[in-house]
Amino acid sequence: MAEWEDVRRIAMALPSVEESTSGHGHIQWRVKDKSFVWERPLRKADYEALGDDAPDGPVLGVRVADVGVKEALLAEDPAVYFTTPHFNGYPAILVRLAEISVPELGELVTEAWLDRAPKRLAKEYLAEH
């Protein structure tokens, strides 16, 4: 379904977004120096925690508004959304990129951007869209 190029296209279409590479060599998208979506390969501890439920394909990390939103997404579609103990108590969700539709990805990335963008920039964007 979705691919990295979809993430890039959606993220870069939003105002004031920069693409960069983390210290670990993974791609991240930031608005005004705040990450809102990023490439998040699973680590050894993640595989241990997830066991057989660990996805094989690419994983996208996404900032969400709060832990309540995270819990709602996990309950809504566990085939797409998941988390690991590393993210316990943190407002971020992991996404099986190959399992999410491009329209749903667009909504998720935009919501993440709205959460991290400065309030004035987010208001301007919402007024235009």
Please check whether residue 77 lies inside any domain of the structure.
Answer: yes
Sheet holding 34-39: strands in order across?
17-21, 27-31, 34-39, 59-63, 92-96, 81-82
Please check whether residue 16 lies inside any domain of the structure.
Answer: yes
Q: What pLDDT does residue 24 have? A: 83
List the chain pLDDT tens, one digit each, 129 residues.
Answer: 899 999 999 999 999 999 999 888 899 999 999 999 999 999 999 999 999 999 999 999 999 999 999 999 999 999 999 999 999 999 999 999 999 999 999 999 999 999 999 999 999 999 999
Number of folded domains in the chain? 1
Q: Are 100 and 2 in contact (CB under 8 A)?
A: yes
Please check whether residue 129 lies inside any domain of the structure.
Answer: no
Please check whether residue 97 lies inside any domain of the structure.
Answer: yes
CATH of the domain at 100: 3.90.1150.30
Range of the domain at 86: 4-124
| Interior angle at CA 96, CA 94 and CA 100, nearest 5 | 110
- Token readout for 93 is 């969700």
